[in-house]
Amino acid sequence: MNLADLGVTSGGALAIALLAVYFFAPKQARRAELVGRVQEVTVTVKGGYSPDLIRASENVPLRILFDRQESGECTSRVVFPDFALNRSLPAYATTTVEFTPDRAGRFGFACGMNMVHGTLVVEPSTDHGGNGHASQAAVEVAPPATREGSSPGTEDAETLERRAEIADLTRRVLVGAVLTAPVLFAVMADSLNARWLPQILLNHWLQLALITPAYLYAGWPIHRIGWLSLAHRAAEMNALITVGTTAAFIYSLFVTALPGLLPTDLRQVYFEAVGVIITLILLGRLFEARAKAGTGEAIRKLIGLQPRTARLVRDGVEADVPIEEVVPGDVISIRPGEKIPVDGDVIDGHSSVDESMVTGESIPVAKQRGDVVIGATINQIGAFHLRATRVGKDTMLAHIIRLVQEAQASKAPIQRLADVVSSYFVPFVIFIAIATFVVWFVVGPEPQFTLALISAVSVLIIACPCALGLATPLSIMVSTGKGAEQGILVRSAEALETAQKLNTIVLDKTGTITRGAPELTDVINTNALNHDELLRLVASAELRSEHPLAAAIIAGAKKRGIDVADPSDFQSFTGKGVRAKVGGRIVAVGNERILREAGIAAEPLAEAALRLSTEGKTPMLVAVDGRPAGVIGVADTIKDDSAAAVAELHRLGVQAVMITGDNRRTAGAIARLAGIQRVFAEVLPERKANEVKRLQSEGRVVAMVGDGINDAPALAQADIGMAIGTGADVAIEASDITLISGSLAGVVTAVKLSRATMRNIRQNLVLAFGYNIIGIPIAAGVLYPLLGLRLSPMIAAAAMALSSLSVVSNANRLRAFRVKTLPAGEIPTLEPNVEVSAEESAPAYVDAHTGEGDYMKEKTTATDPVCGMSVDPATAEYRSFIDGNAYYFCSAGCKTSFDIDPAQYTAGSTSGGHHSR
């Protein structure tokens, strides 16, 4: 080893050591200063975050002022994934983000694609009186009234900025290409010994004159961020390109200006490499910017759904007003074909509404007085008035937009690997480039310096941390947007990742598998009356009843086109049924007691009633003119697609389990229809979470699907909670995924989308890691001794540009995700395995009219023994147990009255608090 080799080796080792200290030594942090009761700190956004390390205290409101002194998509948003914050940062403006760090630790913040990083260090608070929960409010400085996620203006500004960036990149690519093309053409022709080539094109000064504008103007976005990131000690991809192209440009400038100071074999210039590298990198970014513009399309579509005006009705006069002026309680007129501006209740008129843009369901939904309509959906042919209930940021659409943005701001666990690698990637690439230069200079063939320089520059150029940074967030952004289009709202990337591991899904019965409301199912006649006449008499007799089962019978009759007459001599008997005169005929409808007290034998109806009861239906006995006439069956029927959804889950390798507070018989009947093999029956609401925990103890990854308040604990206990969007707000808040349409097909879609997303992310990571693992050694020259293959910086630049583009293109494949119609569920051949809750199961509740030889032992609904209201035992909040019998109440007042004198309400019955019609 000669003196030069020794000097280069020592210099290389020293450079690596100094750079290691520079990049990895503890960074100086800025502490947020207390201003009043709020911590405040200003962060400059210019080629990164300065400072990029912020210290704050736990449970004290934190205000961060982001002073963005640049444009371009790279820093157009800031994301705090651990606090579910995703905020836009307008160019050349200061944006205020406020929230309360609710836990201590180190939390990263980054631009939307995680290409620019910062760290928030939250230190434990000495004051334990904090509120202990994060406030996720963020206030934009201009205009202050605008809330992210509910204003089209913010998205319009981002769209304009994106277009401006694409236009700027296009100009720079054109400048780079026009100035580089003559130099590249001359160098390539000279390498082929073209005699016709004008020698002026090979003049170093001419090449310098052409490439300098390409290096400075076209490459300015790269160099500016690259040098700033190095100054911030947070080197990233731009820094690698900047160092590589600058080294090649300065060396070529030195050769051009002072050729006499170098040996003849070292007087080669690399101006064409500088121009081609910059042009190709910018061309790749142009394609990438166009491709990434599509990843946020779902959010832009959702925001584009928001109407700008509403037709307000005041004092009988209609007037168009800006949507911002509508307040809850206002009456709004909706004409055919118009977009509904806000959420509300129909108070007059009827129509059908296309809700596909919110629920994903393509069939229009009929709406009439009392029905709820969702803002941004489209009215069809009818006209109606609605009363506004939720406006502005409280509408369903605004809620959807916020959930999608929070999901896109979140971080999947699989992304942590990419984040850890990315944080060390660029410094190590610089170390490898220095080592490559040293090795080739010391042991390489002649010309050693040239080979060493080319190899080192190639290493710097080919490395692509950008691909690693894009691999996960792009897929998350596309998939959550697609989910929103299909009526699937995913709260976080972590939920999306966990959902692909599911092997068990627990389905609450009422409102999830079933419709959640009783419907007429059977009309069985036992005398000369035909079905329609029997149903007409029963529906007419029930017309004045306020009982939910009466409403189901009347609705069923009208659906069949049967005219219902107004009865006379109507009488209602609590716990028994009704009696009325219809067209001169005396009709009695109810349980056995109402027939027995009228001296009518119920035995001829027993067999039919028992069959309906076995099927989980509620039988109602009918007598006409003192004779048994038939049995009417009413039940909470399963949804049209429940069986198909369960069958598809089984095909996906996911076991469906039903959980319900109903008795074994009813639970088994519903499970049989839905094709579910495992059932937990007679489970008290507060014990549903225990059953989920029991499944988890079996090593299962469990999702819970429910819609009621009583489902919230189980939703929280499950690995993934899925709430039916038509259910209670508490259930939706406790869930990880919300199914807006209320269809079980949404569960299948959520599982399929999750699996497609994680498959796409793994493909992206394989592309990103594989590219760098293979590309960097080749650029360093490992194949040169064996095959004589050496990678030029120009080829390295093309490869680097293609690597990011391949990841973006692969992520965009998720935009082709489509929901296919579920195949029909197979007719189940196995009996369900019904398990009673192992711990404190719900008591079996029996009918008030049970007696010797009775045919109905268990019921799915109950009657409040005090007021006669129908009560669902599975969800009843108030209950009493006397002599082993369960009684259910609609309110605390009824329970209090019952507890004072139970005998008054239980006389003549084995148990109260049940449905007794």
The model's pLDDT over 512-546, given as tens digits with 9 standing for 90+, comes to: 888 877 889 999 988 778 889 999 999 999 998 87
Helix (H, G, I), strand (E, B) or coil at 665: helix
pLDDT tens digits along 576-619 = 889 999 988 999 998 888 888 889 888 888 888 888 887 878 88
**The predicted structure's pLDDT at residue 909:** 44
Q: Domain-by-domain residue ranges, the chain?
A: 32-148, 158-220+233-293, 302-390, 489-515+639-756, 519-635, 843-906
| Better-predicted residue by pLDDT, 778 or 819 | 778
Residue 703's pLDDT is: 93
Query: How confident is the model at residue 311, as a pLDDT?
Result: 92
Quick one: angle between helices 237-257 and 415-443, nearest 10? Answer: 20
Going by pLDDT thresholds of 50, 70 and 90, the confidence category of residue 465 is: low
Q: What is the pLDDT of residues 319-377, one digit of tens each?
A: 999 988 999 999 999 998 888 999 999 999 988 888 766 665 556 788 888 888 988 88
Residue 137 has what pLDDT? 37
Stretch 3-10: mean pLDDT, rounded? 87
Residues marked active site are found at: 508
- Residue 70's φ and ψ, nearest 5 degrees, are -160, 175
Q: Which residue has the tokens 């009673």?
A: 836
21 class by beta-carbon count within 10 Å (0-12 exposed, 13-18 middle, 19+ buried): exposed
**How far from 7 is each of 1, 440, 442, 676, CA to CA, in Å?**
10, 14, 10, 76
Q: 591 with 916: CB under 8 angstroms? A: yes
How far is residue 668's CA from residue 830's CA, in Å, rounded to a whole number?
Answer: 11
The class of domain 489-515+639-756 in CATH terms is alpha beta
| DSSP bridge pairs for 912 | none
149 has a pLDDT exceeding 70: no
Whether the ω angle into residue 143 lies within 30 degrees of 0, i.e. cis, is yes
Beta strands 317-322 and 309-314: pairing type? antiparallel
Helix (H, G, I), strand (E, B) or coil at 373: strand
Cα–Cα distances in Å, from 654 out to 583, 590, 697, 751, 914?
55, 42, 17, 9, 36
The b-or-e profile of 739-764 (16+ CB within 10 A means b, else e) is bbbbbbbbbbbbbbbbbbbbebbebb
Q: How many degrees, rounded to 5, is the angle at CA 62 between CA 56 and CA 64?
A: 95
Tell me the C-alpha distance between 237 and 467, whole Å: 10
Quick one: pLDDT at residue 214? 93
Cβ–Cβ under 8 Å, residues 511 and 547? no
Strands 720-724 and 383-390: unpaired
Sort 818 into a burial class: Cβ within 10 Å, 0-12 / 13-18 / 19+. Answer: exposed
Alpha-carbon distance 873 to 344, whole Å?
A: 31
pLDDT tops 60 at residue 140:
no
Q: In this structure, are strands 870-871 and 862-863 parallel, antiparallel, or unpaired?
A: antiparallel
What is the pLDDT averaged over residues 57-84? 84
Name every residue whose Cβ is closer than 8 Å to that of residue 668 and which is 6 or more positions away in sequence.
616, 679, 681, 831, 832, 834
pLDDT score recorded for residue 416: 64
Q: pLDDT tens digits for 248-293?
A: 898 889 889 988 776 676 677 878 888 888 888 788 778 767 765 6
pTM of the predicted model as reported, rounded to 2 decimal places: 0.67
Question: What is the per-residue pLDDT across 373-415, written as a single tens digit (0 to 9) for each?
Answer: 988 888 987 899 999 998 888 887 787 777 666 665 556 666 6
Whether 107 and 117 have beta carbons less than 8 Å apart is answered as: no
Segment 839-858 shows an average pLDDT of 35
Q: Is the pLDDT of residue 877 over 70?
A: no
Which pLDDT band holds residue 829 (cuts at 50, 70, 90)?
low
- Give 753's pLDDT tier (boundaries 50, 70, 90): very high
Q: Which amino acid is at 185?
A: F
Q: Is 700 helix (H, G, I), strand (E, B) or coil?
A: coil
Calculate the alpha carbon distances from 257 to 187, 198, 504, 692 in Å. Answer: 19, 22, 73, 77
Nearest to 32 by CA among 101, 103, 86: 101
Kind plus residue range of the DSSP H or E element containing 24: helix 3-24
**Is 112 in a helix, a strand, or coil?**
coil
DSSP per position, 252-285: HHHHHH-GGGS-GGG----HHHHHHHHHHHHHHH
Average pLDDT over residues 105-121: 77
181-186: average pLDDT: 89
Q: Which two structure tokens, joined as six digits, stand for 124?
A: 């434990």
Would you place residue 138 in the very low, low, confident or very high pLDDT band (cuts 50, 70, 90)? very low
Q: Which amino acid is at 76?
A: S
pLDDT band at 826 (very low <50, low <70, confident <90, very high): low
Percentages helix, strand, coil for the chain (3-state, rounded to 5) are: 45, 20, 35
Do the domains 32-148 and 519-635 sit in the same CATH topology, yes or no?
no
Pairing of strands 117-123, 53-57: parallel
CATH 3.40.50.1000 corresponds to the domain 519-635:
no
| Short-list 721, 725, 658, CA closest to 514 | 658
Q: Please report how the helices 531-541 and 548-559 are oriented relative to each other, as an axis angle in degrees rounded to 10.
A: 140
Pairing of strands 519-525, 577-582: unpaired
Question: Cβ(242)–Cβ(222) under 8 Å?
Answer: yes
Give the C-alpha separation, 490 to 483, whole Å: 7
- Is the C-alpha dihedral spanning 214, 220, 221, 224 positive or negative? positive
Q: How far apart are CA 97 and CA 39, in angstroms?
A: 12
639/658 Cα distance (integer angstroms): 14
Query: Distance between CA atoms of 295 and 307, rounded to whole angstroms?
Result: 23
- CATH topology for 302-390 is 2.70.150
Residue 41, pLDDT > 70, answer yes
Residue with tokens 């049209």: 640
User: For residue 658, what is the enclosing H or E element?
Assistant: strand 655-659
Q: How many DSSP H helices and E strands does the chain contain? A: 27, 37
Q: What angle do CA 542, 547, 553 make, to 5 degrees?
A: 50
Whether residue 728 is predicted with pLDDT greater than 50 in this model: the reply is no
- Would the pLDDT of 464 be above 80? no
- Which of 250, 297, 310 has the alpha carbon at shortest distance from 274? 250
| Highest CATH level, class, for 32-148 | mainly beta
Is the per-residue pLDDT at 132 higher than 60? no
Give mean pLDDT, residues 478-487.
83
Beta carbons of 384 and 351 less than 8 angstroms apart: yes
Average per-residue pLDDT in the chain?
79
Q: What percent of the chain has pLDDT over 90?
A: 22
Higher local confidence (pLDDT), 623 or 232: 623
- What whole-number distance in Å separates Cα of residue 659 and Cα of residue 675? 14
